Structures are given as structure tokens and as C-alpha cells.
Structure 1
Amino acid sequence: MSGSLNKVLLIGNLGRDPELKATPSGQSVARFSVATTETWKNQAGEKQSKTEWHNIVVWGKQAEIAEKYLRKGKQVMIEGRIQYREYTDQAGVKKTACDIRCDNFVMLGRMEDGGTRDSGGYGGRASGGGSQDFEDHGAPSPAGGGGGSFPDDDIPF
């Protein structure tokens, strides 16, 4: 296969509300964080977990949608690509940051979990690329509202 692929798919919870800004040219950009948590049992049978924080960057009309509908703590699926950027901190030290450039996001969970159609309702979708519309497709939530996690007994391997 010739070529390469830079693709990221995350399902996690927002760590903060999106912060919407505009570039000098008037382009909208929103930034927020998403936490993903991995859980497992160690050799002693004790439950362990590790949370990773991801910096998300959304551009254009989709940034405006994110600022309007996404809220801290809510579950979201992010589809995008990894981008690195260099900057100089206040002490003059050159640093590198890793961002996820969001091409598409889907709001997960139920509207009863704190949102309404007018105030950040969930179960909607915002798509990037050529189509920058917002459609409500009422995505069902997992049975029992488990947030996508499964009890260890239900895993077939």
C-alpha cells in the first residue's frame, strides 16, 4: 500500500465546555478537551484505570455547533487526525503540543442527561468536510445507561 493514514477515533467525556474564538480572518475555531479512560484488572484482581486527556480543535461552522451544543461531562465521539504544533512558552522555551483536529463529532448519550434540543441536546450529529449541517438522529444510549462500558462478565473472551 502506498500512502499513509492519520486517523483518530475517540469516545470520551468533555473536560470543559468548548471555547469559541475567531481568527483575524473571521474563521471560527473552538477548543475543548476530551477524557478517555481505560480500565483493567491487575494480576491481583484489583481494578486499575488510566485517563488520557486529548486537546480537540474544531474549525468553521462545526466550531459554532460545538460551542452551542457540547457541554462539560457529556459523552462525545470525535473523528479526526493528529496534528502537532510548536510554540514558545512565556519563559522562552520551545515546546510541542499534540492536538486532535476534529473533522466530525457525534454527541452521544440521552437528552434526559441534562440537555434539550435548545440547550445542548444529545443524540445529534455534526459532520465536517463538505457537509456542515446539524441533524438530530436520536442515537440510542446503551441499555442501563452504562456509558459504553461493559461488566467483565459480559465480555466473551
Structure 2
Amino acid sequence: MLNRVILIGRLTKDPELRYTPAGVAVTQFTLAVDRPFSNQQREREADFIPVVVWRQQAEHVANYLRKGRLAAVEGRMQVRNYDNNEGRRVYVTEVVADNVRFLDRGDAGGNSEDPGFSQGGQQQQRYSGGGARGGNQDPFVDDGKPIDISDDDLPF
């Protein structure tokens, strides 16, 4: 059996960081994910998907992500339920994130670094193209411009 979810979307509001009574960090946010088609009025629609992040990654998400930022979320779908104040059973469907990647740079005044933390707080490796580019430069910095690729660089 398999329960994996990968989403790319924008945050609808700033993440909310809380701590459990045992001191475990948990952050919740909603990701707006565009649907791949338009409605009858030719307008794009989006799904608003709740995401939950735990522990050190929750703190990083709360510190670095803000409303409107583009993020990729990888995790699992979870359905839980509880009884509300009226005694009715309420079902909640959400994504429990194992990995959250920050996909855009944010504003100039803020921290533009992408720490790219996965569950457990392990920092992920960023793309470091070899050759003339080298370092941690953005491989898409010349977006829309022709790219000079020699036949030696192609894997086939």
C-alpha cells in the first residue's frame, strides 16, 4: 500500500506555530494548489489543502515561509476525526508533511535563503551545477534565455 502526496502551491496565510503540552513543535498552513483546468467561465480554480508539519521542520517553516510564498510539500494524506461541541463527528483531511521545500526567494527585506529542511531537521543538498556555473547559483537564473549546452553535457 502507498500513501504519498506531492503538492506545489502558495501559502494562503502565514503558518501558525504551536507547541504540544510535551513541547513538540507543530505548524499548520493551507496550500492553494491550482487545478490543471479552467471552469466554464474560463477561470482557473484552486484547491485549498491543509498541511501539518512537526518538530524542527515546523519551526523552520514558521520562520521562513509567509503568505503567498511558493512551496513544495511531500508527505502523506491523513484523515482524523473528533466530536465537536455539538456532539457531531467532524472529519478532517490533511497532509502530514515529511519534506517542505521553499521554491521562491521571498522579498528583498527578508531572508532569501532556502534551507530546505526535511523531517528531522536534516538539511537537504541544494543543486550545485558543476562546470562553469559552479557553487550554489540558481540554475534557472537565465529564465527564458537560450542556454549554451555542449554535447558533452548531455547524458545520452
Same fold, judged at TM 0.5 (above): yes
Change (3 A) 1:27 1:40: same
For the pair 1:35 / 2:32, whether they are aligned, the reply is yes
Q: Unaligned stretches of 5+ in structure 1?
A: 145-157
Residue pairs, 1:57-96, within 5 angstroms: 57-96=52-91
Change (3 A) 1:49 1:127: same
Say which structure is richer in strand: 1
1:20 CA drift (Å): 0.7
| Corresponding residue SS for 2:97 | strand
Q: Partners of 2:46 and 2:38 in 1: how far apart? A: 15
Is contact 2:38-2:45 (8 Å) kept?
no
| Corresponding residue SS for 1:61 | helix
Change (3 A) 1:141 1:86: farther
For residue 121 of structure 1, what is the aligned residue in structure 2? 112
1:93 CA drift (Å): 1.2
2:121 to 123, 127, 132: 132
For the pair 1:16 / 2:3, whether they are aligned, the reply is no
Q: Unaligned stretches of 5+ in structure 2?
A: 127-135, 145-156
- Count of residue pairs brought into register by the alignment: 133
| Corresponding residue SS for 2:50 | strand
Change (3 A) 1:66 1:28: same
1:47 to 42, 55, 65: 42
| Larger Rg over CA atoms | 2
What RMSD in Å do the two structures reach over aligned CA positions?
2.5
1:49 CA drift (Å): 1.8
